[in-house]
A and B are shown apart, each in its own frame.
Chain A
Amino acid sequence: MSRVDIENLVKRYGAVAALDGVSIAFENGEFFGLLGPSGSGKTTLLRAIAGFVIPDAGSIRFDGERVENVPVHRRQIGMVFQNYALFPHLTVEENVAFGLTVRGTSRDDAAKRVREMLALVRLEGLGARKPRQLSGGQQQRIALARALVTRPKVLLLDEPLGALDRRLRQAMQVELREIQRTTGITTIFVTHDQEEALTLSDRIAIIDQGKLIQVGAPKSVYERPGTVFAAQFLGDANLFAGTQAGDRLQLAGGDTIRTAGPAGAAAIVRPEKLTVLPAGDGRAAGFDNRLEGTILQAVFSGASVTYRIDVPGLKDPLLAFMQNQEGDVLQPGTRIVAGWSAAHTVTVTA
């Protein structure tokens, strides 16, 4: 267990900066998600912490000690690779024991640690099998056991659940979180799946084009994205672009929108914050922000209804998620008014 401090990390491949001055402080024992589209630099960052990528500039510290020049095998890290990278010629036990064997741990100690690890990932009794005889989920857990057996300072996960199907993925998310809590190890994981990042992480960082866009707890980044990119990458967002008019945002169509805090040239609101009412419904008066429009599409999916609403003066249709609580599903063509609170309207920069 350690803290990891990244400062001003730069890595260039030719003219392209994979990392362009990234600084993040990973706290001791936290589960940290690095989120970004492919090619954003998140994997380069993870591989720099592991030691596979030597940064051009900046520093990486484990518990205050610089490690940029420490080779991978002496960094005391644990890593789970996207395709698990289990050794095909070794049994499950030998795979898990590998990190102990190469360090010269005695046979008895190693066997004991391997048993503990297999128990932790709930795969006792499979020790004699070869990796190819295991299912994807089991291989994933073996990879985790192998990475944890040496009690590393930091656990690095590269798209750890990417190769699993959806159901297994959700089960493994719970299990991964549980194992991380049990061991208390500082864990940094890379994903392009925003839902996975939100579910698992204590904190997340959004990375794009080698730059850190935003860091924070999942809820705060989701609710208070700083940029249009962060807002749109982390779930759906309705974007209002216009001009600042005093404490409001003025849209091209003339409507004005109240924002939480000072207004700017752009603001977003999450679709689930909207309430869609038939035009003329008196309850609309209770909302800080109201826009009138016409339903383009209504998708009923059991617990909720998704509306796409055409609003004159808005570039894209307004998106609204409504809980299926009372009343009928509003049909396409219906004149409506969408209302929401100023507190949910977040000023963002491009």
Chain B
Amino acid sequence: MEPTATCWIVRAYLGLVLIFLYLPIAVMMLMAFNSSALYELPFVFDTIWFEKLASNQRLLTASLNSVVIAAINAVVATALGTLAALAFARYSFRGRRLLQMLLFPPITIPWLIIGTSMLVFFFWTGIGRGLHAILLGHVALSLPYVIVVVGARLASFGPELEEAAATLGAKPGQAFFRVTVPILAPGIVAASLFAFAVSFDQFVISYFLAPPGVSTLPVEIYTSIRKGFTPEINAISSIIILVSMGLLLLVVRNYRFGGER
């Protein structure tokens, strides 16, 4: 492309977007390896914050809580959401459109409000607070995302593949596991990652539903920051970013989204 004025504006714009997106993250990751606790320069390479992190029991427990909840949430929400998406796509029943519309408000309602109402509701029904309540809240929150992602994949092929399987003698279960599931697989994997991320990132609802002494990683990070910021947070954040980016690359490499029909 000729280096015209428009071209330079476009490039500068792209550069700015990337800088605002990634520079803060880059700085944070860099500071995780800086020996100063007060972000002082010059940069001195040190792994002290990772060592401190290894002995920070509260942060580690919270991380474990987060991973376990996110993983269970991913499995439960993906299973339930996939079944719901199948029902929406393949069956017509009374109230289908209404139910489909009811999926979207939870995505747009502020989490603060959802968190408050869940707290009140759980208190009132005796579910109370705790990891089980957090998991319940996360599943409810992730379901709409799973249904939308799996539903998009389902919409890419009609019921005739399942019908073809039936004419060939496949029992409904065989048609489901040999035809529907393999073709849906990229959507299911994407949806479960989504569900994992929704749960892992979730702060507000977890904060409301966590009783004293129990916390997830975002809640624990928030609590630590209030007490005084330490680069240990940078260290754990760096680990999370690297792991999640690695997962994402893995998925992108193995599944061509929408490419295969």
CB–CB B183/A79 < 8 A = no
**In the complex, A89 has a CB within 8 A of chain B:** yes
B174 within 8 Å of A (CB atoms): yes
> Does A321 interact with chain B (Cβ within 8 Å)?
no
Interface status of B108 (Cβ within 8 A of chain A): no
Asked if B166 and A73 make an inter-chain contact with CB atoms under 8 angstroms apart, the answer reads yes
Q: Which residues does chain A contribute within 8 Å of B112, judged by CB atoms? A: none
Q: Give the 9 A-B CB pairs with smallest separation, nearest first.
A: A99-B168, A85-B164, A72-B166, A79-B167, A85-B160, A102-B170, A89-B182, A73-B166, A102-B174
B79 CB within 8 Å of chain A: no
Least Cβ–Cβ distance between A117 and chain B, in angstroms: 13
Chain B residues near A79 (CB-CB < 8 A): 163-164, 167
Partner of A81, one of B163, B170, B260: B163
Assembly CA distance A77 to B165 (angstroms): 11
B51: min CB distance to chain A, Å: 48
- Residues of A with C-beta under 8 A to B260: 88-89, 132
Chain B positions within 8 Å of A74 at CB level: 169
B171: interface (CB < 8 Å):
yes
Q: Does B161 interact with chain A (Cβ within 8 Å)? A: yes
Tell me whether B179 is interfacial, beta carbon within 8 Å.
Answer: yes
- B168 near A85 with CB under 8 A, answer no
Q: Quick check: B168 and A98 within 8 Å, CB to CB?
A: yes
Q: Which chain B residues border A86 with CB–CB below 8 Å?
A: 164
CB–CB B160/A83 < 8 A: yes
* Contact present for A103 and B169 (CB under 8 Å): yes
- Give complex CA distance A101, B175 in Å: 12
Q: Do the beta carbons of A52 and B261 come within 8 Å of each other?
A: no
CA distance A98 to B166 in the complex (A): 11
User: Using a Cβ–Cβ cut-off of 8 Å, how many residues does chain B contribute to the interface with A?
Assistant: 21
Contact between chains at A72 and B182 (CB < 8 Å): no
A:75-110 near B, CB below 8 Å: 75-79, 81, 83, 85-89, 98-99, 101-103
B96 is an interface residue with CB less than 8 A from chain A: no
In whole angstroms, what is the CA distance A81 to B170 when docked?
16
Residue pairs across A and B with Cβ atoms less than 8 A apart, 5 shown, are: A72-B166, A73-B170, A79-B164, A83-B160, A101-B178
Nearest B residue to A131, CB-CB: B261
In the complex, chain A residues whose CB is within 8 Å of the CB of B183? 87-89
Chain A 40-79 interface 0/1 with B at a Cβ cutoff of 8 Å (1 = within): 0000000000111000000000000000000111111111
| A89 CA to B179 CA, complexed, in Å | 8
A146 at the interface (CB under 8 A from B): yes
Please name all residues of chain B whose beta carbon is closer than 8 Å to the beta carbon of A77 when the two chains form the complex. 167
Flag if A85 contacts B178 (CB, 8 Å). no
User: Are A73 and B179 also in contact (CB < 8 A) when A83-B160, A88-B260 are?
Assistant: no
Interface centre among A77, A78, A89 (most CB of B within 10 A): A89
Whether the pair A146, B163 counts as a contact (CB closer than 8 A) is: no
Q: Which of B161, B183, B260 has the most CB of A within 10 A?
A: B161
Within 8 A of A (CB), among B76-98: none
Q: Are B169 and A73 in contact (CB under 8 A)?
A: yes
Find chain B residues with CB under 8 A from A83 CB.
Answer: 160
CB distance from B166 to the nearest CB of A (A): 4
**Which A residues form the contact surface with B (CB < 8 A)?**
50-52, 71-79, 81, 83, 85-89, 98-99, 101-103, 132, 146-147, 150, 156
CA distance A89 to B187 in the complex (A): 14
Residues of A within 8 A of B172 (CB): 73
A99-B160 contact, Cβ under 8 Å, with A88-B260, A89-B183, A132-B261: no
The docked-state distance in angstroms from the alpha carbon of A103 to that of B198 is 42
Cβ-defined partner of A146 (8 Å) among B157, B168, B182: B168
Please determine whether B163 and A85 come into contact, CB atoms closer than 8 angstroms.
yes
Most buried by A among B169, B172, B183: B169
The interface residues of chain B lying within 8 Å CB-to-CB of A51 are 166
Bound state CA distance, A98 and B169, in angstroms? 9
Instruction: With both chains docked as a complex, state the minimum distance between the C-beta of B168 and any C-beta of chain A, in angstroms.
Output: 4
A106 → B minimal CB distance (Å): 16
What is the bound-complex CA distance between A54 and B261, given in angstroms? 30
Q: CB-nearest residue of chain B relative to A149? A: B168
Contact bitstring B144-188, A, C-beta under 8 A = 1, else 0:
000000000000010011011111111110110011001100000
> Cα distance A147–B178 when bound, in Å?
17
Complex CA gap A282/B215 in Å reads: 108
Q: What is the CA–CA distance of A87 and B175 in the complex, to the nearest angstrom?
A: 11
Q: Min CB distance, A1 to chain B, in Å?
A: 17
**Complexed CA–CA distance, A72 and B166 (Å):** 6
The distance from the CB of A85 to the nearest CB of chain B, in whole angstroms, is 4
Are B167 and A87 closer than 8 Å at their CB atoms? Answer: no
Q: Complex formed: what's the CA distance from A103 to B166 in Å?
A: 12
Which residues of chain A are near B174, meaning CB under 8 Å?
102
How many whole Å from B188's CB to the nearest CB in chain A?
13
Q: Is the CB of A73 within 8 A of B171?
A: yes
**C-alpha spacing A81/B158, complex, angstroms:** 12
A288 to B216, CA, bound (A): 98
With the chains together, A87 CA to B174 CA distance in Å? 14
Q: How far is the CA of A86 from the CA of B165 in the complex (A)?
A: 9
- In the complex formed, the residue of B with least CB distance to A86 is B164
A98 in contact with B165 (CB, 8 Å): yes
Q: Choose among A81, A101, A103 the residue that contacts B164 (Cβ–Cβ < 8 A).
A: A81
Q: Identify the closest chain A residue to B182 (Cβ).
A: A89
With both chains docked as a complex, state the minimum distance between the C-beta of A332 and any C-beta of chain B, in angstroms: 50
- Which listed residue, A71, A89, A102, A132, touches B168 by the CB 8 Å rule? A102
Say how far A208's CB is from chain B's closest CB, in angstroms. 25
Q: Are A87 and B161 in contact (CB under 8 A)?
A: yes
